[in-house]
Amino acid sequence: MGAGRIDRGGTKKLIVAFHFHLSNQAGWKCDICRRSGLEKRRRCGRMGLRGDENGAPVWGRREVVVWECPKSLITGESEMLVEEFLLRRRLGQVDFRELSGRRELSARKVEAFTILEGELRREREYGQQHSRRDF
């Protein structure tokens, strides 16, 4: 992962899931990848291949970089947390600590949503700094 921002495995997968969700995923379909013989080159974790940070990165977005296929790195739980976070934001349920206090969210979800809130804030800051009028 880039910039040393990510330290724990679960946090890393959550942040990768968030950025992968926002990216163009067209070239990352598992069946197409296997048919094209790209699983070794992309170091597919489902094939038992793991990335080596000394090698070339396989996927990246902004400061987030991975050395193996992001589809096989991201867990179903991370994907679900990203989707729930974005849905709750869309519905206006953004006071995650209050929801936790009322026992509507587990501490684990509050921690994940706090991490995702930080990533979303960085996305917005990046967008403001790189708006089309700047080009």
- Are 65 and 55 contacting, i.e. CB atoms less than 8 angstroms apart? no
Kindly report, residue by residue over 65-108, the tens digit of the pLDDT: 999 999 988 999 999 999 999 998 888 876 766 766 667 778 88
Kindly report, residue by residue over 14-56, the tens digit of the pLDDT: 999 999 999 988 888 888 888 898 888 888 887 777 777 788 8
Residue 7: the pLDDT is 45
Of 40, 67, 64, 39, the closest CA to residue 53 belongs to 67
